[in-house]
Structure 1
Amino acid sequence: MFRFENPEYLYLLIIVPVLAFLSLIIGKRRKKALQQFGNPELLESLMPSASSIRPIIKFYIMLLVIICLILTMAGPQFGSKLETVKRKGIEIMIALDVSNSMNAQDIQPSRLDRAKRAIYQLVDKLENDKVGLIVFAGQAYTQLPITTDYPSAKMFISTINTGIIPTQGTAIGAAIEKGIRSFSSQEEVNRAIIVITDGENHEDDAIAAAKAAVEKGIKVYTVGMGLPKGAPIPVGDSNKNNFMKDREGNVVISKLNEDMLINIAKNGDGEFISANNIRKGINDLVDHLSKLEKTEMDAKIYTDYDHQFQYIALLALLFLIIDFMILERKNKYLKNINLFEENKEDAK
């Protein structure tokens, strides 16, 4: 596992594009000044040893030196040992609806995009809890097993779209059942399933699945994505106003089934959260989850981080040596050598 011991130094990298921009401005002004002073070709003959490209090369080599020094100060490290540690928290399985109706845009930019943002915010607020991810449409699949690796969770979330499951539908019950089976085997841990969907369940008995979860000590929370008035479901490029239609040619309007989600949460001993105000909705959800008693759990983390700054420092030294060897002026002994010009006598 890779990390920086002092990541705050990485902010210094902002000076690199600033210096590059200033160099570009200064170079243009210098060129303009030379053009005003006299004919560039005449000036070049008066200064045969002057080079226009070498100072630029030396400048960008020096920028590489600065980048390497900043990375060295940040302290790059690699974790060399994976250990099991004790942490107090709960286990959370997030079940995300990826059916086509989640492309509806009654909440911007779309129900699915808003749901992914909600999960990002939720994961950012977790500390020692374990989190897993299930995606579902007509069927349910485990996208990410239960883990404390929050960066990996965010990475998996970013790849989700409505095309990852070929079987369309909204099987909320199957998602809850999959969540029940996806928790760790550790006993006496408080667990919760968070179902994020528009609630258009057409496949199974989600109420029965929520009751089964409660029997196993698992709370079921629901987060409603969408508005009761609904919106059409885009097909293909949404900018072309192509929408899903029924067999009679009428545009299908997908509506938030709030009553269904409230009923699922009620039977799942959880709460229904409306995500129309995403920040408040996630804060409310975190408040509910924080009321669950934290239990000591096993978590695998990388320890014994080894410093790797010496390699980047060596690279900086190498760039400095190259910069020292490149002179700003042409070498008077080598300036007449042109490896790419054909010898005139040989041409004859």
Structure 2
Amino acid sequence: MNYRFQHIEYLIALATIPLIVLLYFQLLYWKKNTIKKIGDPKLVQALIANYSPINFLLKFMFFALALTAVIIAAANLQKPGAMENVQRKGVDVVIAMDVSKSMLAEDIKPNRLERARQLVYKLMDQLPNDRVGLVLFAGRAYLQMPLTTDHGAAHMYIQQAGPEVVPTQGTVISEALRASNSAFNSKERKFKSIVLITDGEDHDPQAVPLAQQLAQDGVMINTVGIGSAEGAPIMDPATNTYKKDETGNTVVSRLNETELQQLAGATRGVYVKLNDVDATVNAITKQLSTIESSSLDDNAFRDYKNYFQWFLAIAFVFLLIEFFLPERKLKAA
């Protein structure tokens, strides 16, 4: 039977056990030195006659074993249970969502960022058989969620998305495309699409050449423009005032449609300006349907038996024993 740890990275915490053992021996050394400094050895031995070094060692061992059990419980030992031979037909879709401060502009009510959230929620509802990943970007891009069929997790990440999650501001689209492409299987040359949602405010000269490279790897980029040509000022939530430039003029953020159209055109994708959420979702899903879907095995359909609760129970028992075991010698009845 093949066992595995669900979170094997947590096992690195086992490195604390040797450190605790070292601290234990240092404590013993300190106790011996303290006894020597107190005074007459015979008097000291008489005062600590009820102290049991063996019980003290046992208390330490039970504590160390409990800590070990807790760490193993956190890593969650598993073994495969009943295996269902389930395959699904689907496409891998990475949603790259702009969370820069320009997305707080209110030329689309309530603001661009909130409308982008609404779009992503409805889009995921239309992709039940597809794996979805999530990239949030501004001046930097971060893969927030790898490709998964767990769309509920994606909803949680989208709800928390905002300028504060990406400390570097700006709109660097090429960074978003690179981070999105890293989520795909590099060995496949189809079944892959990036849905880029942004106002495209800052022109990124690297974006279109990169999109052309991704097209050669079978990636379709569908772009969604949020905002208006007239633009709108950007509200800074920290100061509750509109953002100003170095000369004191109010900054106006405008939608850059040209670059987004070029990105979509270079990869057989479609560009849609977000006016109506439902119409935008329909346009994107229609374009995604032109990608030949593949048969994919997904771990979401594997049934694993978890053993973390057993290790937690063992840790609890060890802690109880350590708590009630006295350091003094047990008196004979």
TM-score > 0.5 by shorter chain: yes
Deviates more, 1:229-238 or 1:259-268: 229-238
CA contact (8 A) 2:90 2:295 kept: yes
The alignment yields a C-alpha RMSD, in angstroms, of: 2.2
- Mapped to 1, the partners of 2:122 and 2:85 lie a distance apart of 27
Q: Which residue of the partner structure matches residue 42 of structure 2?
A: none
Q: For each residue in 1:285-309, what CA deviation from the matched residue of structure 2 results, as whole angstroms up to 9, or x when unmatched? A: 1111112111101212256699xxx
Cα 1:280/1:304, change in 2 over 3 Å = same
Q: For each residue in 1:124-166, what CA deviation from the matched residue of structure 2 results, as whole angstroms up to 9, or x when unmatched? A: 0112111100011111110100111111111111111111111
Count of paired positions: 226
- Mapped to 2, the partners of 1:215 and 1:172 lie a distance apart of 18
CA contact (8 A) 2:99 2:163 kept: yes
Given the two structures, how large is their TM-score scaled by the length of structure 1? 0.61
- Mapped to 1, the partners of 2:260 and 2:218 lie a distance apart of 20
Cα 1:109/1:300, change in 2 over 3 Å = same
Q: For each residue in 1:264-289, what CA deviation from the matched residue of structure 2 results, as whole angstroms up to 9, or x when unmatched? A: 11112211011111111111111111
Q: Which residue of the partner structure matches residue 176 of structure 2?
A: 175
CA contact (8 A) 1:90 1:191 kept: yes
Given the two structures, how large is their TM-score scaled by the length of structure 2? 0.64
State the Cα distance separating 1:93 from its structure 2 match: 0.6
State the Cα distance separating 1:174 from its structure 2 match: 1.1
- Mapped to 2, the partners of 1:137 and 1:226 lie a distance apart of 16
Q: Which residue of the partner structure matches residue 23 of structure 1?
A: none
Map residues 33-72 of structure 1 onto 2, 5 A cutoff.
none
Is 1:139 matched with 2:169?
no
Q: Which residue of the partner structure matches residue 261 of structure 2?
A: 262
CA contact (8 A) 1:103 1:112 kept: yes
Q: How many percent identity over aligned positions?
A: 40
| 2:242 counterpart SS class | coil
Q: Which residue of the partner structure matches residue 250 of structure 2?
A: 251
CA contact (8 A) 2:98 2:171 kept: yes
| 2:95 counterpart SS class | strand
- Mapped to 1, the partners of 2:166 and 2:280 lie a distance apart of 27
CA contact (8 A) 1:138 1:203 kept: no
CA contact (8 A) 2:101 2:163 kept: yes
- Mapped to 2, the partners of 1:82 and 1:291 lie a distance apart of 32
Give unpaired runs (5+ residues) of structure 1. Answer: 1-78, 307-348
Map residues 110-259 of structure 1 onto 2, 5 A cutoff.
110-184=111-185, 187=188, 189-236=190-237, 242-259=241-258
